[in-house]
Amino acid sequence: MPTTPTEPELADRLNRRLLAASQLQIQAAQSVAIDTSALGVMAVDAAVAAIVIGARGTYGLWILALVLLGCSLSVAVRTLRLPGAERTGPSVMDTPEAHERKDEHSTQDSLLNDLVEDIETNERALARKEPPLDQALTLLVLAIVVELAGRL
């Protein structure tokens, strides 16, 4: 015979689920921020490339600057193509199946475990997306420095 959870137990379970849902929302926002940053890098790449092509430097370093901008653009595109924090918790469709179980504790635990699994999946996805964005930004800055050095 299943036992009825006490009020503090119910509150604790609800708090854990709310915290997990909040973490998933934060991860989704971080993923969108990384993608938006990659789009920004691509836009700056295009603008700097237009400047470099329009006013070529004297030492031929403009070619190196364009190569670096191309590399930055390709890395930014790769950042966008990597999967982000797409999983946002257990499906609503899975919930009725969980409620059909006889043990309410296992239902609650199952839902929380699904949320924790999704958080871990998102953490791994975000960890894979950040380094390419950093590389794209580094290449962009390097291209700007090379172009400025060519103009001295």
Residues 65-122 pLDDT 10s: 999 999 999 999 999 998 887 655 555 445 555 455 555 566 677 778 888 888 888 8
pLDDT at residue 55 in the model: 82
The answer on pLDDT for 143 being more than 90 is yes
pLDDT at residue 87 in the model: 55
Spatial separation of the C-alpha atoms in residues 73 and 137, rounded to whole Å = 9
pLDDT at residue 137 in the model: 95
pLDDT tens for residues 51-67? 888 887 667 788 999 99
pLDDT tens for residues 1-58? 456 767 887 788 888 888 888 888 899 899 999 999 999 999 999 999 998 888 876 6
pLDDT at residue 77 in the model: 95
pLDDT at residue 148 in the model: 87
CA 35 to chain centre: 7
Work out whether the CA dihedral 125, 128, 130, 132 comes out positive or negative. Answer: negative
pLDDT tens for residues 113-129? 888 888 888 899 899 99
91 three-state secondary structure: coil
pLDDT at residue 150 in the model: 83
Spatial separation of the C-alpha atoms in residues 52 and 149, rounded to whole Å = 12
Spatial separation of the C-alpha atoms in residues 113 and 125, rounded to whole Å = 18
Spatial separation of the C-alpha atoms in residues 108 and 98, rounded to whole Å = 9
Work out whether the CA dihedral 129, 36, 123, 120 comes out positive or negative. Answer: negative
